[in-house]
């Protein structure tokens, strides 16, 4: 009920605040103080923390239901109750996280209205009706979540179970609409329609044109995928902690399996995320070249080096977890010799990706470097090299996963050998296409070079789809070299899951800073100027400190939520009488298991 209460508080707060603007006359607006202050961290810091922590919880509660219904569907249509229980366990984590989302949303609303009252009124005058819809849908979403979770055992068979699954789908639908609405507000601040100028009165701005602005859909898509990545990583972290704290082998088995699923979801969605990011970046450039240049080559240029470093950590940690996990799979030994080469590709890829190219440099630095670009590293810093590096890293990670998936299987189809050769050829062709366009990119103009990245991406995606499709067909009825020994994972592998979750969370904060920061001293880019004393956009160092504070608050609250969730759980897998039936089953075929 806490979540529902919080949702109602948030909705009522928003509704009350929305009543005011319509009543305000122009002279009242003129008399209104423009900015408030907040102790210790200032107005900007307070909004930053509230918005970021709210977003982190929101990403979690929107991401988890997406894969919860997939896992539930595997349980329903695969006839495996184990997946149904896992989906319920995911959903239990949602309940308290949901109330935290609502509470932080209410905090953000109150802070915005008290610290940035004039700008808040401006936003409400444009987006008022969508805010009402948002509040209403939030309530509907809360009810749906409660029905979904508390109806789990009641509607567990036959048509009722399908109906229950439908509730999960509805939960996702409401959540997605809520996110899309809020995305309209924030993307309007970044890319308002060209027809809106500083002289445009807010009541003259068409609601739909304000919502469906240039970056609205790219952000919607990017966030949907990123939420799945984030949710998977947090679930993986939860499972890792429970694995480390497990008292019995059965608990270890269960949480090892759950951690694997969480990591699979996070890394699987992560592979697609750069493509959505590319789409978003392209739309930002299309909207306003200066905005794009500020993002990629202006005062934020170093941010992308940090981002490359973080994504390097994600790739390395994700692959490390897979390679360590192969130790518990009979037959995986035959692939161990390939690990060092895959590691080499990943490390070289990270180095290239993290090579700076166009940086803001002083004259002294330019003179010391011998030019605006480093004579050697400058060649590695261009997008041709970076795109090549990241596509090869994606292919390598995919190969890691395929080896993991095939480790304990012996295909029985008579075309297994030629199928494997075809898979190898597809990956090789993709790698050759990636390298070819990477090298060719150095000999063409920038506008042509940008188009090459599309060919590289398509080659990688096509190869992955082809290999997976072939593998599923090839492994039908495959013999097993032995069951995966769930639970027999070294503790260090679980710390990799923690590093993944912390890195994903920090990366989310960093990208939030990038997206919001490119507006610089504008509340609404080139429309509403930020005239407060804190209008300057901070450098990366102070921003990183703020991001770490937000991550600490979020993870601290998540730990509390997990602890509360643990108090409420019925420890079925701790009950010795139920341990046999609760023993983990292989992961589904698509997730690399035998099931």
Partner 1 sequence: MWRTNLAVGVIVLGTLALYTGVANMIPQVESDVPEELVMSLDATPEEMVAAGEELFLGAGGCTVCHGLGTRAPDIVGVAGAECANRQPGVSCKQYLHESLVAPAAYVVDGFQPIMPDMSRTLSDAQIWSLVAYLESQGGEVTVTAADLAPAGDGQASGGAEEAGGAGTVAGAGPTVAAGAGPEEIIQSLGCLACHSLGGEGGALGPPFDGMESLSAEYLRRGILDPAADTAPGFETFAGTMPPNFGDQLTAAQFESLVEYLSQLKAPGQ
Does 116 contact partner 1 by CB under 8 A?
no
Selected from 12, 207, 465, 552, the binder of partner 1 by CB under 8 A is: 552
The least CB distance from residue 370 to partner 1, in Å, is 13
Pairwise CA distance, residues 332 & 314, whole Å: 23
# residues contacting partner 1 (CB under 8 A): 52
Pairwise CA distance, residues 457 & 441, whole Å: 14
Applying CB under 8 A, the span of 2-10, 170-178, 295-303, 577-585 interacting with partner 1 comes to 295-303
The least CB distance from residue 291 to partner 1, in Å, is 9
Q: Which residues of 362-394 are buried (b: 16+ CB within 10 A; e: fewer)?
A: eeeeeeeeeeebbeeebebbbbbbbbbbbbbbb
Selected from 6, 50, 543, 591, the binder of partner 1 by CB under 8 A is: 543
The least CB distance from residue 526 to partner 1, in Å, is 5
What is the H or E stretch that residue 92 is in? helix 81-115
Classify residue 245 by burial, with Cβ atoms within 10 Å: 0-12, 13-18, 19+.
exposed
The least CB distance from residue 562 to partner 1, in Å, is 11
Interactions with partner 1, residue window 10-69 (CB under 8 A): none
Task: Give 235's Cβ-side CA count (13 Å radius).
Answer: 36
Pairwise CA distance, residues 327 & 311, whole Å: 25
Applying CB under 8 A, the span of 59-67, 262-270, 533-541, 562-570 interacting with partner 1 comes to 533-541
Does 420 contact partner 1 by CB under 8 A?
no
Selected from 139, 140, 435, 544, the binder of partner 1 by CB under 8 A is: 544
Applying CB under 8 A, the span of 44-52, 388-396, 502-510, 567-575 interacting with partner 1 comes to 502-510
Distance of CA 27 to the CA centre of its chain: 44
Are the C-beta atoms of residues 284 and 291 closer than 8 Å to each other? yes
Task: Give 109's Cβ-side CA count (13 Å radius).
Answer: 23
The least CB distance from residue 488 to partner 1, in Å, is 18
Does 506 contact partner 1 by CB under 8 A?
yes
Does 241 contact partner 1 by CB under 8 A?
yes
Q: Considering the complex, state which of residue 451 and residue 482 has its C-beta at the smaller distance from partner 1.
A: 451
Selected from 498, 516, 553, 590, the binder of partner 1 by CB under 8 A is: 498
Interactions with partner 1, residue window 347-366 (CB under 8 A): 358-360
Does 90 contact partner 1 by CB under 8 A?
no
Pairwise CA distance, residues 310 & 510, whole Å: 10
The least CB distance from residue 358 to partner 1, in Å, is 6
Applying CB under 8 A, the span of 305-313, 390-398, 435-443, 454-462 interacting with partner 1 comes to 305-313
Are the C-beta atoms of residues 236 and 497 closer than 8 Å to each other? yes
Integer CA distances (angstroms), 217 to 201, 220, 458, in order? 25, 5, 21
Q: Considering the complex, state which of residue 112 and residue 308 has its C-beta at the smaller distance from partner 1.
A: 308
Applying CB under 8 A, the span of 11-19, 132-140, 284-292, 398-406 interacting with partner 1 comes to 284-292
Residue 299 has what DSSP assignment? T
Angle at 265 between CA 264 and CA 267, to 5 degrees: 65
Are the C-beta atoms of residues 43 and 541 closer than 8 Å to each other? no
Applying CB under 8 A, the span of 9-17, 173-181, 300-308, 386-394 interacting with partner 1 comes to 300-308
Selected from 499, 524, 528, 582, the binder of partner 1 by CB under 8 A is: 499
Are the C-beta atoms of residues 401 and 320 closer than 8 Å to each other? no
Pairwise CA distance, residues 557 & 572, whole Å: 25
Does 234 contact partner 1 by CB under 8 A?
no
Interactions with partner 1, residue window 428-467 (CB under 8 A): 446-447
Q: Considering the complex, state which of residue 19 and residue 245 has its C-beta at the smaller distance from partner 1.
A: 245
Selected from 8, 9, 139, 305, the binder of partner 1 by CB under 8 A is: 305
Rounded to 10 deg, the angle between the 446-474 and 383-406 helix axes is 0
Selected from 538, 565, 566, 595, the binder of partner 1 by CB under 8 A is: 538
The 3-class secondary structure across 439-490, one letter per residue, is: HHHHHCCHHHHHHHHHHHHHHHHHHHHHHHHHHHHHCCCCEECCCCCCCCCC
Selected from 311, 460, 502, 589, the binder of partner 1 by CB under 8 A is: 502
Pairwise CA distance, residues 573 & 188, whole Å: 48
Q: Considering the complex, state which of residue 6 and residue 267 has its C-beta at the smaller distance from partner 1.
A: 267
Does 413 contact partner 1 by CB under 8 A?
no
The least CB distance from residue 537 to partner 1, in Å, is 4
The least CB distance from residue 156 to partner 1, in Å, is 34
Integer CA distances (angstroms), 239 to 40, 169, 236, 373, 495, in order? 36, 24, 5, 46, 11
Does 369 contact partner 1 by CB under 8 A?
no
Does 479 contact partner 1 by CB under 8 A?
no
Q: Considering the complex, state which of residue 438 and residue 509 has its C-beta at the smaller distance from partner 1.
A: 509
Pairwise CA distance, residues 372 & 367, whole Å: 8
Are the C-beta atoms of residues 369 and 378 closer than 8 Å to each other? no
Q: Considering the complex, state which of residue 248 and residue 372 has its C-beta at the smaller distance from partner 1.
A: 372
Selected from 19, 136, 195, 421, the binder of partner 1 by CB under 8 A is: 195
Task: Give 481's Cβ-side CA count (13 Å radius).
Answer: 17
Q: Which two tokens stand for residue 248?
A: 């019995």
Distance of CA 333 to the CA centre of its chain: 33
Q: Which residues bind partner 1 (CB under 8 A)?
A: 194-195, 241, 244-245, 286-290, 293-294, 297-299, 302, 305-306, 309-310, 358-360, 372, 446-447, 495, 498-499, 502-503, 506, 517, 520-521, 526, 530, 535-541, 543-545, 547-548, 551-552, 555
């Amino acid at each position: 009920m806490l979540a529902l209460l919080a949702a109602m508080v948030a909705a009522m707060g928003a509704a009350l605040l929305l009543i005011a603007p319509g009543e305000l006359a122009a002279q009242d607006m003129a008399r209104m103080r423009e900015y408030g202050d907040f102790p210790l961290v200032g107005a900007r810091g307070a909004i930053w923390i509230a918005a970021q922590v709210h977003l982190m919880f929101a990403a979690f509660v929107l991401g988890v239901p997406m894969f919860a219904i997939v896992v539930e569907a595997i349980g329903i249509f695969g006839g495996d109750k184990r997946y149904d229980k896992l989906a319920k366990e995911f959903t239990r984590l949602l309940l308290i996280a949901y109330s935290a989302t609502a509470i932080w949303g209410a905090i953000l609303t109150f802070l915005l209205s008290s610290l940035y009252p004039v700008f808040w009124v401006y936003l409400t005058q444009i987006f008022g009706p969508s805010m009402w819809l948002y509040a209403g849908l939030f309530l509907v979403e809360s009810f749906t979540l409660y029905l979904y979770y508390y109806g789990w055992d009641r509607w567990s068979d036959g048509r009722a179970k399908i109906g229950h699954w439908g509730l999960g789908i509805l939960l996702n639908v409401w959540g997605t609409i809520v996110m899309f609405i809020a995305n309209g507000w924030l993307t309007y601040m970044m890319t308002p329609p060209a027809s809106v100028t500083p002289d445009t009165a807010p009541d003259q701005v068409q609601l739909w044109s304000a919502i469906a602005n240039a970056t609205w859909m790219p952000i919607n898509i990017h966030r949907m995928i990123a939420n799945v990545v984030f949710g998977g990583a947090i679930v993986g972290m939860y499972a890792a902690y429970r694995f480390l704290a497990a008292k019995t082998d059965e608990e270890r088995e269960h949480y090892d399996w759950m951690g694997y699923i969480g990591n699979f979801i996070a890394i699987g969605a992560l592979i697609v995320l750069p493509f959505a990011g590319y789409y978003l970046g392209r739309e930002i450039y299309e909207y306003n070249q200066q905005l794009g240049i500020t993002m990629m080559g202006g005062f934020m240029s170093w941010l992308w080096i940090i981002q490359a470093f973080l994504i390097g950590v994600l790739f390395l940690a994700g692959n490390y977890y897979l390679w360590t996990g192969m130790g518990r799979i009979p037959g995986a030994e035959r692939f161990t010799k390939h690990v060092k080469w895959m590691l080499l590709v990943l490390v070289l890829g990270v180095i290239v990706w993290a090579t700076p190219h166009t940086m803001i440099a002083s004259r002294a630095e330019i003179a010391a470097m011998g030019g605006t670009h480093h004579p050697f590293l400058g060649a590695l810093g261009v997008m041709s090299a970076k795109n090549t590096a990241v596509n090869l890293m994606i292919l390598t990670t995919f190969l890691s996963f395929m080896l993991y998936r095939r480790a304990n299987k012996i295909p029985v189809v008579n075309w297994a050998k030629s199928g494997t050769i075809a898979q190898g050829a597809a990956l090789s062709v993709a790698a050759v296409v990636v390298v070819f366009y990477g090298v060719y990119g150095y000999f063409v103009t920038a506008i042509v070079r940008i188009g090459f990245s599309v060919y590289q991406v398509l080659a990688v995606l096509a190869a992955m789809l082809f290999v997976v499709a072939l593998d599923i067909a090839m492994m039908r009825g495959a013999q097993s070299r032995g069951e995966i020994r769930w639970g027999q994972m070294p503790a260090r592998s679980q710390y990799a899951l923690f590093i993944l979750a912390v890195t994903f969370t920090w990366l989310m904060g960093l990208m939030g800073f990038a997206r919001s920061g490119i507006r610089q001293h504008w509340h609404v880019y080139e429309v509403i100027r930020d005239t407060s004393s804190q209008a300057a956009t901070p450098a990366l160092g102070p921003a990183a400190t703020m991001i770490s504070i937000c991550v600490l608050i979020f993870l601290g609250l998540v730990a509390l939520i997990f602890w509360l969730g643990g108090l409420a759980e019925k420890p079925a897998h701790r009950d010795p009488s139920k341990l046999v039936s609760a023993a983990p089953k292989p992961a589904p075929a698509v997730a690399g298991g035998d099931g």
